[in-house]
């Protein structure tokens, strides 16, 4: 499997707009998943602090029950919005339900790591897991497929 990491300097406003669009897309997918009755809860053992390396990120996802590739398929540096308007309500609720408070990172630059999930319970392919980190701490994350978005917990 080839992994490509692309880094580019771009306008902060453009990054914020892309991040906002991604959050709106994720929020829409979350709404679909919520209607399907999927919920997420954090495992007691998964500590979001001290996540410094690729191995740490993979191990963190494994604590949630996910088998992922050994390397992120995408790494993005994003600017969190300075203010979260109502378009973020469902996404913030998803993160809050897992114990993450993205509002504490308003205006901060974060990194989002994307991993291919290889053991989704339905066998669906193309499922990815996102981890959002600020410095060495996971501050958010989700698992998404073509028709769903939910927290990091493995669905029943």
Residues 106/84, Cβ–Cβ less than 8 Å? yes
What CA dihedral angle connects 132, 142, 25 and 100, to 10 degrees? -60
Name the residue with tokens 């406003």. Answer: 13
Q: Report the candidate in 129, 49, 141 with the shortest Cα–Cα distance to residue 100.
A: 141
Q: How far apart are CA 132 and CA 95, in angstroms?
A: 11
Instruction: Give per-residue pLDDT as tens, 108-149.
Output: 999 999 999 999 999 899 999 999 999 999 999 999 999 999
Instruction: Give per-residue pLDDT as tens, 36-94.
Output: 333 444 455 578 898 999 999 999 999 999 999 999 999 999 999 999 898 899 999 99
Q: How far apart are CA 77 and CA 15, in angstroms?
A: 8
Mean pLDDT rounded to a whole number for the chain: 80
Q: How far apart are CA 90 and CA 121, in angstroms?
A: 24
4: number of Cβ within 10 Å: 7
Give the pLDDT band (50/70/90) at residue 6: very low
Residues 117/125, Cβ–Cβ less than 8 Å? no
DSSP string computed for 32-49: HHHHTT------TT---B
The percentage of residues in the chain with a pLDDT greater than 90, rounded to a whole number, is 61
């Amino acid at each position: 499997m080839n992994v490509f990491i692309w880094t580019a300097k771009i306008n902060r406003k453009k990054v914020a707009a892309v991040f906002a669009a991604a959050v709106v897309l994720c929020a829409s997918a979350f709404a679909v998943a919520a209607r399907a009755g999927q919920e997420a809860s954090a495992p007691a053992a998964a500590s979001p602090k001290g996540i410094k390396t690729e191995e740490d990120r993979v191990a963190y996802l494994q604590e949630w029950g996910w088998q992922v590739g050994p390397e992120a398929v995408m790494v993005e540096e994003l600017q969190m919005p300075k203010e979260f308007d109502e378009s973020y309500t469902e996404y913030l609720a998803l993160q809050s339900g897992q114990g993450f408070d993205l509002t504490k990172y308003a205006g901060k630059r974060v990194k989002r790591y994307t991993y291919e999930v290889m053991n989704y319970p339905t066998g669906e392919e193309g499922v990815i897991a996102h981890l959002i980190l600020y410095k060495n701490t996971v501050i958010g994350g989700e698992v998404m497929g073509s028709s769903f978005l939910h927290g990091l917990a493995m669905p029943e």
